[in-house]
Amino acid sequence: MPPDFPWYAVLLIGFLCSLFPLFWLFKEASFVNRIDPRSGAVAKLVTGFGCYLLGAICMVAVGAFAREIDRDVQPFVAGFGGLIIIAGVVFLLMGTFGMRRSIHTYYNTVEPMGINLMGTGPALLTLFCAVYYFQHHFTEIAAKKKAMGHR
C-alpha cells in the first residue's frame, strides 16, 4: 500500500516545517524502492542532496575564507562547488524521474490502476513539484486499493 496522506497536507505541513517535504520525498522514494528495487531512487536522492550540500559548502567556504584562500585558487574552488551543485541537481532529477517511471510501470503492469504519468504535463509536474504530484497519485491508488478490500 502506498503512503496514504493527502498531498495538500504535505504542502501545509511543509509551510510549517520546511524540511517535511524533503522527508516525505524520501518516504515516497523508499516506497518506490519496494515496488521496484532496481529504481535506486533513495540512493540517487541521497547522492543528489549530498552533492548539493558539498557544493554549497565549497561556495560558502570561498566567501567566508576569501582572505585566507589564495586568489588563484578561489575561482577553482568556486567553480568546483558550482559543478558539484549541478551534479547534485542532475542526481535529484534522475531520482525523481526514475521514480515517475517506476510508479508508471508498476501501476500499469503489475497492479493495473490506470495511472498515466508519462507525457509533457506529468513531466512538468514531476520537474516542479514531484513530492506533491507523486503523493496525489499515491493517495488515489490507496483509495482504489481500499475500495477493492486491501488494507
Can you give the pLDDT at residue 92? 97
Find all residues with CB under 8 Å of 133, minimum gap 6, and list them.
7, 122, 125, 126
Closest CA to 122 of 110, 137, 144, 142: 137
Residue 2 covered by a domain? no
Average confidence (pLDDT) per 10 residues, the chain, 151 residues: 93 96 96 95 97 92 76 82 95 97 95 91 95 96 90 73
Any domain includes 61 = yes
Number of other residues whose CB lies within 10 A of the CB of residue 19: 8
Report yes or no on 88 lying in a domain: yes
Total-model pTM: 0.89
CA dist 46 and 85 (Å) reads 13
Which residues, in sequence order, are CB contacts of 75 under 8 Å at separation 6+? none
Share in percent of the chain as helix, strand, coil (round to 5): 80, 0, 20
Is 150 a member of any domain? no
Nine-digit cell at 90? 542532475
**pLDDT score at 74:** 79
Domain count, the chain: 1
Domain that holds residue 86: 7-145
> Residues 6 or more apart from 132 whose CB is under 8 A from it?
7, 8, 10, 11, 21
- Residue 151: the pLDDT is 73
Classify residue 1: in a domain, yes or no.
Answer: no
Nearest to 42 by CA among 117, 98, 3, 122: 98
